[in-house]
Structure 1
Amino acid sequence: MVERSAPLPYPSGWFCVGRLRELAPGRLRTVRLMGEDVVLYRTRRGAVRAVGPHCPHLGAHFGAGGTVRGEELVCPFHGFAFGLDGSCTGSPDGVRFRGGLAGRHLRERDGMLFVWAGAPDGGDPSWELPPAVGVRPLAWWSGEEPTHPQEVMENIVDFRHVRVLHGLDTREAAPPEVAGPLFTVHQRTTARFPGLGPVSLEQPVTLAGLGLMHLEVELPQVGGTLWLWVLPTPLAPWRTRVCVAAAATVPVPGGRSVRAVDRAASWAALRATVRIIGQDRVVLAHKRYLAQPRLVPGERSIGLFRRWAGQFYPGFHSEAVPGFRFEASPESGVMD
C-alpha cells in the first residue's frame, strides 16, 4: 500500500454501526468508530442507546463485562447502574454520584443504527438523516477497506471508472443536485443482475453525508422494486468498514410478493454490488488521494462533489484541508 502524504481527516456525520437485529434486548456490544470504541446496548423493553465506553466512576469499559439489567446499563467493576438518560441510578450498596455517561446521538433507520460523529469533539448533530424508507434490508454484507468514506462516495460520480473498471454502461443523466447534506446523482446504468437479467437503473442515487448512500430502483422487467444502501463507516485513519444492504420486492404470478423470492433477488443484487466493490479494492488499496486532480471533460461532477463534501469537516478551512480547493487542468474545460 502506498503512503498517503495528504490523507483526509475524519468527517462529521451519521455513520452506520450495525443493525438493530444484531442487538437483542438485554444485550450490549462494542463497535469501533473513528479510532474510538462506542458501546451500544438495548434494554429489556427495547430502548437502544449508544454511549462512550468508560464508566465515569473509575473508567471501567462497559464492553468488557458490563451488563444490561432491565432498563439500566451496569458497570462490571463496581456495579454502578445508569438509566436511559445516562444518570447514575444506584449501586450494590446504594451509593450514587452526580454526573453520567458520555452519551452518543443514535438514530435507527430501516433497522440500521447510525451514530453521530462530529469532528473534532463529537458535538451535537448539525443535520438529520432522511426519513426511513420503510423497507428493511433482506441481504447484508460488510468488509473493511483501506480507504476513506469520501473516496467510497466519490466513486458514484466517477462515471469513467465505472465503464473502464467495472465494464458497466453508466452515464450521467442530469447534473447532480445539492441540498445541504444531501447530494443526489442522476445516472442511467444498464446492468445484469443474476436471476433478473438486464436491468436498467435510472433512479437517482442520494448521498446523506459521507456515511449513507441510497438507491431505489423500479424493475420494469419483473414489476418489482430494488433498494440498495452503501454505508461507509471510518474505523481508523484510512480504514473504513463498508456495509452493503439490499432489499427487493418481486411479484410472482397472482401479483403477490413471496418472501423467499424477495430474499433471493436481494441477495443477487447484493452480490453484484459487492463484486463491484471487490473490483475497486485493489485500486483503493494503492491509489493516492490527490487534492488537486487533473480532471478532464465530463468530470465536472467530481469537483462539485468535493466542494459539497467540504461541509463535513467542521473546524477546518476549505483552503487548509487537502481536497477542498478544486483546480482543473486548463485543457479540461472544467471550471471552478
Structure 2
Amino acid sequence: MTKMFLEHLWEYVIEHPIAVLVAVAVLYLTHITLKPLNRIRRLGDVGLFFGKPELTGFYRERQLERLKLLRRTGDLPPVFPNGWYCVCESEKLEKNQIMEITILGQFLSLIRSESGTVYITDSYCPHIGANFNIGGRVVRDNCIQCPFHGWIFSAETGKCVEVPYDEGRIPEQAKVTTWPCIERNNNIYLWYHCDGVEPEWQIPEITEITEGLWKLGGRTEHELMCHIQEIPENGADIAHLNYLHKSAPEITNGSDIIKTDLSDPQPTVQHVWDGKWEVKSEEHKHCGVMHLNQFMTIWGHKVPLTSSKLVAEQHGPGIVHMLFDFGMWGKGVVFQTVTPEEPLLQRVRFRIFSNIPWFFVKFFMTVEAMQFERDVFIWSNKKYIKSPLLVRNDGPIQKHRRWFSQFYTENSPRMMKDGSLSNQAKSIFDW
C-alpha cells in the first residue's frame, strides 16, 4: 500500500513539477511566517566595524580580539552591580538536566531536579576539580553526581552526601558553593551581591503569564561588548530617541547606522517619541520607571493603529518589564534582561508575552530588534565618560546614574588597566 502511494506521488511530482515547487514554497513561507521570532546576534554580527573592505576569516577574529582590548577605556564604574540576573529561559532547562551558564566572569551549573525545582552551583567538584557540566548527572531528585569519581552533592545545600567507594566519614569541607536563584515569569534568575547580602527585593510576578492569559510570541538575543550600565541608561537619555530612533529601519540597511541617514529631518516613515524617566518611589527605590508614548507617521501624517503606550519598570541593574498597551491590538509585556557574562560582555534577551495577534507581534519584535541594534552600534564603540557634558533637554542622565550607583559598593569588582578584576564575584553563601 505504501509502495503504491509513493509511486503515485512520484508520478505526480514528475508530471507537475511547478505545482509541487509552488506548494512546497507556500508551505515553507507559511511555516516561517507563523513560527515565533527567534532573532540571535552573536558578538561581531552587529555593532562592530571591521574596516573597508571588511575583514573576514582569521583577520576578522584577530580584529575582534583587538577591539576587546581597546574597549577598556574611560573611568569605568564597577563591572558587576548587585542584583538579580537572568541566566536561562525556563523552557530551555528540562528535568534532570545540568546546564552550563556563564555569568559574572565564570562558569556555573544550572540544575533542574526531577521534581522541577531549579538550583545553581559552582561547576567544579572540590575533590579533584572535575566539571559537573561535562558528563555530570542529576540523581536522587536534587543532587548532582561528579563524572570523575561519582561523588554526590546536594544541589540545595552544596554538601557532599556520598562518596560511593568510601564508607568512612565524609570530609566537612566536601562542599560545592550554591547560589540563590528563583524561577519567575518563565525565566530563571540568579541573585548576586558583592557583600554577601540576601536578596533586597523580589521580582514582580506577571499574573497574566502565570495564569496563561499571555503567551510567548517571540524572542531576540544579542551579545554585545560594553559596560552593563550603558544599556539601562538609555531609558533616561530621552534626547536620543528622536534622533537615533527617529526613522524606521530601512529594508536594505536594516539596523546599520553607518549606512543609514539619521540626520534626515523628515524621514518618510518616522517614529515620534514622548517619554520621561523617574524613580518609582522611595519604598521601591531599586525600581526606575520610563513612561513612553509612540506613534508612526508616513510623510508627516499619523498612521492609524500605530500608537502604543509603554511603562518600562527597571528592577535593579539587569531586569526591565516593558508593559505595552497597543490599544485595539491588545496588551503584553516584553522582558528585557541584561546578563553580565564577562566584565564587558553582556547577553541581552527580549521576550514578549501578550494577547496580541501573531503577525503584529512578529512585526513589532522585528522592528524593536532593529532599533535596539542601532543602540548596539553606539554601545559597542563608545567611551564611558564619568562627567558628561549635558544640556537642558538631554534628559535625567545624571539622575539615572545616581540611582544606578546604589547597586555598587566598595567591594564591587572593578576592571584594572590590564583587564584583570580587583576581586572575583562570589555567592552570598560563600561568605
Query: In which range does the TM-score fall when normalised by the shorter chain?
Result: 0.7 to 0.9
Measure the CA separation in 1 of the matches of 2:176 and 2:206.
28
Matching residue within 110, 128, 131 for 2:205: 131
Match of 1:39, as an amino acid? S
Please identify, of 51-60 and 87-96, the stretch whose mean Cα deviation from structure 2 is larger. Answer: 87-96
Aligned partners of 2:82 and 2:192 also within 8 Å: yes
Aligned partners of 1:176 and 1:301 also within 8 Å: no
Unaligned runs of 5+ in 2: 1-66, 210-214, 247-270, 298-302, 413-431
Measure the CA separation in 2 of the matches of 1:109 and 1:166.
31
Aligned-residue offset at 1:73 = 0.8
Aligned partners of 1:45 and 1:70 also within 8 Å: no
**Which residue is equivalent to 1:274?**
369
Match of 2:187, as an amino acid? M
1:172 corresponds to 2:267 = no
Measure the CA separation in 2 of the matches of 1:155 and 1:52.
33
Aligned partners of 1:177 and 1:185 also within 8 Å: no
Unaligned runs of 5+ in 1: 251-260, 318-336
Question: Residues 276 and 174 (structure 1 numbering): CA distance in 2 closer, same or farther, change over 3 Å?
Answer: closer
Aligned partners of 2:124 and 2:131 also within 8 Å: yes
In terms of Rg, which structure is larger? 2
Count of paired positions: 301
Three-state SS of the structure 1 residue aligned to 2:328 is coil
Match of 1:75, as an amino acid? C
More helix by proportion, 1 or 2?
2
Matching residue within 228, 239, 258 for 2:334: 228
Measure the CA separation in 2 of the matches of 1:144 and 1:175.
28
Measure the CA separation in 2 of the matches of 1:175 and 1:181.
11
Three-state SS of the structure 2 residue aligned to 1:291 is coil
**Normalising to structure 2: TM-score of the pair?**
0.65
Matching residue within 63, 77, 80 for 1:8: 77
**Which residue is equivalent to 1:116?**
191
Measure the CA separation in 1 of the matches of 2:119 and 2:386.
38
Three-state SS of the structure 2 residue aligned to 1:203 is strand
Identity of aligned residues (%): 24
Structure 1 segment 65-84 matched on structure 2, within 5 A: 65-71=135-141, 72-83=143-154, 84=156
**Normalising to structure 1: TM-score of the pair?**
0.82
1:294 corresponds to 2:389 = yes
Three-state SS of the structure 2 residue aligned to 1:204 is strand
Measure the CA separation in 2 of the matches of 1:306 and 1:161.
17
CA shift digits 1:78-117 (9 cap, x unpaired): 1111223322221322543334221101011111011112
Question: Residues 173 and 12 (structure 1 numbering): CA distance in 2 closer, same or farther, change over 3 Å?
Answer: closer
- C-alpha root-mean-square deviation of aligned residues, in Å? 2.3
CA shift digits 1:151-200 (9 cap, x unpaired): 111111212111111113222257553432111122222258xxx97432
CA shift digits 1:120-165 (9 cap, x unpaired): x655323322234442633122120011221111111212111111
Structure 1 segment 184-199 matched on structure 2, within 5 A: 184-191=289-296, 198-199=305-306
Three-state SS of the structure 2 residue aligned to 1:307 is helix
Please identify, of 122-131 and 212-221, the stretch whose mean Cα deviation from structure 2 is larger. Answer: 122-131
Question: Residues 188 and 34 (structure 1 numbering): CA distance in 2 closer, same or farther, change over 3 Å?
Answer: same
Three-state SS of the structure 1 residue aligned to 2:396 is helix
Measure the CA separation in 1 of the matches of 2:235 and 2:202.
22
Measure the CA separation in 2 of the matches of 1:175 and 1:298.
15
More strand by proportion, 1 or 2?
1
1:247 corresponds to 2:353 = yes
Aligned partners of 1:190 and 1:201 also within 8 Å: yes
